[in-house]
A and B are shown apart, each in its own frame.
Chain A
Amino acid sequence: MNNKKKFTIFAFYIISTLIVIIWLIPFVIAAFTSVKSMDEIMASEYWWKPPQKVEFENFKEAWTTGNMRTYFKNTFIVTIPSVLGALLLSTLSAFALAYYDFKFSKTILLVFVSGMLIPFQMLLIPVYRLSNTLNIYDTYQGVILFHIAFQLGFCTFFLRNFMKSIPVSLYESAKIDGAKDIVVYAKIALPLTIPAIAALGILEFTWIWNDYLWSLILLSSDEIKTITLGLVNLKGQYHASWNLIAAASLITAAVPLVIFLIFQKYFIEGLTVGAVKG
């Protein structure tokens, strides 16, 4: 190994470490703050200093008094059916668009793609109106339905691309053997798409969990609010209790973070294949 190469490796580690440390500072500050007591925060001159005494009071308080418990549960109630529904419907539509070449199939694909790019401002008022006329305003069903509808475009696009890469001969041989279309879908297309479905599911889960806007438009009563709404609520109530808000923020962030750490490979794969939204 010559000197130049050694230098490159050395520089790589130094620069990478620096970048990662700078990138993680906000997390560290949030973590420090969340375990400090209010007295300590008020007394210290620098708010980013490590805590002198670690206590988890804030998490407990945010969880119970701050109602994070309810919001946490609500978000699961909204997120899981939304992800499952979007995945189920989009595997069907993606299968149709990938395998059958019918009239307007390309147009339909384009409609799906433009649907996911459209600025949501265009949709705010129509969605609000529609949910009022359908009487699903301020219900779980309403949010779930709209989440499924909005994610369908992306999911279909994503899965269609993946299903296109499965050789057509596989479908055809099954058809020759007398399999019905639905059997081809269930026995051939679905099992082969499982890696893509997993990647997509994880991505969708994080997005829907992190969603703020649609819950803001569609939910108004406190008992069924999702966690991002809850966090903003909490900030309104406990304006100066930074430690409490930091703890609540970490609770909100915990689920996507854990999911990301466990399924990192799928997550990144999904993002690169999808490469559409953030």
Chain B
Amino acid sequence: MSFSKWDGISSSEFIGFDNFTRLFQNKVFWTSLKNNLYWLLLFVGIPVPFGLLIAMLFDMKLPGNKIFKTLFYLSMTLSFVVIAQIWSWIFEPRRGALSTFFQSLGIDNLAQIQNGLAVFLLFIALPVALGFFVGWLFNRKLEFRSSSKRWMVRLIALAVMLGASLIIYKMTGFKVQASRMAERGFPWLSDPDFVTFSLIFAAIWRQIPYVMVLYLAGLKNVPPELVEASIVDGANWGQRFFAVILPMLKPATIVAITISVIDSLRAFDIVYAMTQGGPFNSSSVLANYMYIESFNNYRMGYGSSIAVIQFIITLGFIMVYLNNVVKTEG
């Protein structure tokens, strides 16, 4: 059907690859694809590590952790449509919770936040992540041995990185290009550059508890003897986590990542209910674009071609998941 022209009522007409050529020339398609990429990166990159961390926290067998878990899970039971309503209230530009929260911190427009985020990512998070990565590379070769000197080295390295980033920041006078709207207030959902991030943020609120459930189940399979043995061997907290627990959680991580990827590609409800892809299609994702083209603009053939593209993108991840199922189910 993606090769035909059909409005949903009259008979369809075969037009070959026309739909696809028109699609690739359309700017909205590329915006949607780009937004889908953001969804993919952030929807996996944020909930998976945070879900793991919170799962580790709530896995501590202390009285009351059941109550914490129950309360934390609540957001998971909500429909995306409800989440969209609740969050559009929080994202209200003038008197919504998020705007007033930032105002109370002395930040009075979105551009400052964008700026701060970019500075944080480029000059602090990135060097720290790099540092950890390099440290991890070296750490692998060392035996379990806790020494206070290593901590000192780490602290100094961290301080140097932070200091260097801040000096770079001061010297370059780094600033992000923000829209004119963002310099005046908090257009969380009406600034074309920011709206997708607001949507992803609301969706993550629901996704983190979900990933956490998966990790909690995975943690149940980590034998406590193994962790204790590593303590006896003198492993510190970090070594215990990276060398003992994380490898045991590999199956849970694979499931969490594949599910998050598939969910991020299916993102539709929240985008459609909150912004319908607007303003000016800037928050559109493929699913949403496809729906609007097919059912609001009655271009079913064209919509099908979007669906085909999306299917091709998802196929790889579905294969990974199926492979996993085949392996475990045997």
Contact = CB atoms under 8 A, between A and B. Distances in A.
Contact of A125 (B206, B272, B300): B300
A190 B322 CA distance: 27
B294 A124 contact: yes
Interface stretch (A13-21, A80-88, A140-148, A167-175): A13-21
Contact of A13 (B64, B205, B307): B64
B164 to A, nearest CB: 30
Interface string A112-135: 011001111110110010000000
B310 A253 contact: no
Contacts of A268: 73, 213
A264 B273 contact: no
Contact of B268 (A29, A117, A213, A277): A213
A113 B207 CA distance: 22
Interface string B32-72: 00000000000000000000001001101010110010111
Contacts of B79: 209-212, 228, 252-253, 256
A210 B307 contact: no
A231 B85 contact: yes
Contact of B273 (A9, A121, A124, A212): A212
Nearest to B256: A275
Interface in B149-181: none
A125 B68 contact: no
A26 B90 contact: yes
Given A117-B262, A125-B304, A246-B85, A23 B72 contact: yes
A125 B294 contact: yes
Contacts of A125: 1, 294, 300, 303-304, 307
Interface of B: 1, 8, 54, 57-58, 60, 62, 64-65, 68, 70-82, 85-87, 89-90, 92, 95-97, 100, 205-207, 209-210, 213-214, 216-217, 255, 259, 262-263, 265-266, 268-269, 272-273, 286-287, 290-291, 294-295, 300, 303-304, 306-308, 310-311, 314, 318, 321-322, 325-326, 329
29 contacts: A12-B57, A23-B74, A23-B209, A27-B74, A30-B85, A33-B89, A45-B100, A47-B100, A110-B322, A114-B318, A117-B322, A118-B314, A119-B266, A121-B290, A121-B291, A121-B306, A124-B295, A124-B303, A157-B325, A210-B82, A217-B295, A249-B82, A249-B85, A252-B79, A268-B73, A271-B214, A275-B259, A278-B207, A278-B263
Given A118-B318, A125-B304, A20 B71 contact: yes
Interface size class of A (residues with CB under 8 A): 35 or more
Contacts of B71: 20, 23-24
A63 interface: no
